[in-house]
A = this chain, B = another copy of it.
Amino acid sequence: MRRTVAKRRMGPPDAATPAALMDATEAVMREEGYAAVTSRRVAERAGINQQTVYYYFQTMDDLLLAAYRRRTQRVLDRVQQALSAARPLHSFWHTSSDPMDAALTMEYLALANHNDLIRLETIEFGERLRRLEVDKLAERIRQASPDPQVVSPFAVIMAITYVAHLLGFEATLGLRGGHRETRVLVEWCLRQIEPAGARAKTMPERTSQIQG
Binding site for B on A (CB under 8 A): 31-36, 103, 106-107, 109-114, 119, 122-123, 126-127, 130, 149-152, 154-159, 161-163, 165-167, 169-170, 172-179, 181-182, 184-186, 188, 211-212
The residue in chain B whose Cβ has the minimal distance to the Cβ of A131 is: B177
The residue in chain B whose Cβ has the minimal distance to the Cβ of A109 is: B106
B169, A182: Cβ atoms closer than 8 Å: no
Enumerate chain B residues within 8 angstroms of A155, measured Cβ to Cβ. Answer: 178, 181-182, 184-186
Q: How many copies does the complex hold?
A: 2
Enumerate chain B residues within 8 angstroms of A185, measured Cβ to Cβ. Answer: 150-152, 155-156, 159
A31-B212 Cα distance, complex, nearest whole Å: 28
8 nearest CB pairs, A to B: A35-B35, A155-B185, A110-B110, A162-B166, A155-B181, A154-B181, A154-B178, A106-B110
CB contact between A184 and one of B123, B150, B170, B212 (< 8 Å): that residue: B150
A-B contact pairs, 20 of them (CB 8 A): A33-B35, A33-B113, A33-B114, A35-B35, A36-B114, A112-B173, A113-B173, A119-B173, A123-B173, A126-B175, A151-B188, A152-B181, A152-B185, A154-B178, A155-B184, A156-B185, A158-B178, A158-B181, A159-B159, A159-B186
A109, B169: Cβ atoms closer than 8 Å: yes
B165, A113: Cβ atoms closer than 8 Å: no
A167-B166 Cα distance, complex, nearest whole Å: 12
B33, A130: Cβ atoms closer than 8 Å: no
A200: min CB distance to chain B, Å: 21
Enumerate chain B residues within 8 angstroms of A211, measured Cβ to Cβ. Answer: 177
Enumerate chain B residues within 8 angstroms of A150, measured Cβ to Cβ. Answer: 184-185, 188
A159-B185 Cα distance, complex, nearest whole Å: 9
Enumerate chain B residues within 8 angstroms of A170, measured Cβ to Cβ. Answer: 126
A177, B31: Cβ atoms closer than 8 Å: no
B177, A130: Cβ atoms closer than 8 Å: yes
A51-B173 Cα distance, complex, nearest whole Å: 33
